[in-house]
């Protein structure tokens, strides 16, 4: 049986609930920022060594196997994902030499409660860091232009799209179909 609370207690529950949810959201965002910064750094390292010819053609597979052996239970470092990290770095390296610095700048700006500055050619910090790595990989691998990428990053952030929903939006070419919703204005 649900207990009926006084208005005073109801307000306390609302305040505490809001604080809990905000804290959880902030913690998740922080984890995502750290993960993106880590993957960017790993991607940079792999790119610099694999593209310059220092490593042989099976290096990424060997590194992945060794990571699995030394850190049992570690997920997300398959050869495919290591290549995705390299792609992530290579696609965004032109905008910032260190994604960890960008992440730190975001935290500083959030603490000031000011409007978010932009980075990466008009992609807001918040949108870029609010979506997961798999979303970034999909956007990078299925779009061709920077404008499309910015659109899908912002769309993903604004609508909190799941990976599958993002795939559907890209497949239906939401970028090129902006403002082209079916209507009967001409007939009416």
Q: What is the reported pLDDT for 97? A: 53
Q: What is the reported pLDDT for 108? A: 56
SS3 124: strand
Per-residue model confidence as pLDDT tens digits over 109-120: 554 443 333 344
**Verdict on whether the full-model pTM lies above 0.85:** no
Q: What is the reported pLDDT for 13? A: 87
Q: What is the reported pLDDT for 64? A: 94
d(CA 42, CA 28): 21
d(CA 39, CA 41): 5
Q: What is the reported pLDDT for 119? A: 46
Structure tokens that stand for 48 in this block: 């610099």
For 129, list phi and psi in degrees, rounded to 5: -85, -10
Count of beta carbons in the 10 Å neighbourhood of residue 135: 20
What residue spans define the domains of the chain?
Answer: 7-105
Residues of the chain with pLDDT under 70: 1-2, 95-124, 180-188
d(CA 151, CA 12): 40
Q: What is the reported pLDDT for 1? A: 57
Per-residue model confidence as pLDDT tens digits over 47-62: 989 888 778 888 999 9
Tell me the C-alpha to C-alpha distance, in Å, between residue 158 and each of 8, 94, 124, 131.
34, 25, 11, 10
For 69, list phi and psi in degrees, rounded to 5: -70, -40
d(CA 48, CA 43): 8
């Amino acid at each position: 049986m649900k207990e009926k609370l006084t208005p005073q207690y109801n307000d306390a529950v609302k305040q505490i609930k809001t604080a809990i949810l905000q804290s959880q959201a902030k913690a998740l965002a922080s984890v995502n920022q750290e993960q993106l910064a880590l993957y960017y750094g790993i991607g940079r390292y792999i790119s610099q060594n694999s593209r310059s010819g220092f490593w042989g053609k099976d290096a990424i597979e060997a590194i992945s196997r060794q990571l699995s052996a030394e850190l049992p239970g570690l997920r997300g470092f398959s050869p495919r994902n290591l290549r995705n990290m390299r792609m992530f770095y290579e696609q965004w390296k032109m905008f910032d030499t260190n994604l960890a610095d960008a992440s730190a700048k975001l935290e500083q700006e959030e603490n000031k409660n000011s409007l978010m500055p932009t980075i990466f050619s008009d992609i807001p910090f918040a949108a870029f860091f609010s979506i997961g790595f798999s979303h970034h990989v999909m956007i990078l691998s299925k779009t061709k232009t920077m404008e499309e990428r910015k659109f899908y990053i912002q769309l993903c952030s604004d609508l909190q799209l799941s990976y599958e929903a993002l795939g559907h939006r890209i497949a239906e070419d939401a970028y090129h179909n902006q403002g082209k919703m079916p209507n009967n204005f001409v007939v009416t």
